[in-house]
Amino acid sequence: MDSAKIALVQDSFKKVVPIAGVAADIFYDRVFELAPSVRPMFPDDLRDQKKKLMQMLGTAVTNLHQVDRIAAAIQEMGRRHVGYGVEPAHYDIVGQALLDTLAKGLGDDFTPEVRQAWAETYALIASTMKDAAAAV
């Protein structure tokens, strides 16, 4: 990803951080709305899960200019997700939920350019996870 796109993602994520709790609520509601069948894969209490997701997203966003430094951690995460019962098709649902969440959370700041930059960011993380999972 070029540095202009990375800046779009990092700057817009800064606006999400103060509303991280609400964003995480919107995100999981949207995932389960799009795919009710995945709800049983998660624990009843999602509080820990929400924190971990926002932390991981933060780490990925911070390190977008040096993805090689987090590639191994993302691959590990992809392999762990196999154990949670996650299948490749689920990544499209989660990606859609993420973009919908950002659209809601950022409002007018979610320009087509910001959307595109986030779509590429998610695709990068998801493909790294899926490739590692496929090699298990």
- Here the tokens at position 54 are 């926002």
By C-beta, is 66 or 107 nearer to ligand HEM? 66
Using the minimum distance from each CB to ligand HEM, give the nearer residue, 91 or 110. 91
Identify which of residues 78 and 108 has a Cβ nearer to ligand HEM in the complex.
Answer: 78
Backbone φ, ψ for residue 88 (5° rounding): -50, -40
Distance CA 51, CA 54 (A): 5
User: What b/e sequence results for 14-47 when a residue is b if at least 16 CB atoms lie within 10 Å of its CB, and e otherwise?
Assistant: eebeeebeebbebbbebbbeebeebeeeeeeeee
Pick one of 97, 117, 126, 133: the residue that binds ligand HEM (CB under 6 A).
Answer: 126
Pick the binder of ligand HEM from 94, 97, 106, 132 (CB under 6 A).
94
| CB 108 to ligand HEM: min, Å | 26
Return d(Cα 68, Cα 1) in angstroms, integer. 13
Residue 91 near ligand HEM by CB under 6 A: yes
- 27-86 binders of ligand HEM (CB under 6 A): 38, 41-43, 49, 52-53, 56, 77, 80-81, 84, 86
Residues in contact with ligand HEM by CB under 6 A are 38, 41-43, 49, 52-53, 56, 77, 80-81, 84, 86, 90-91, 94, 125-126, 129
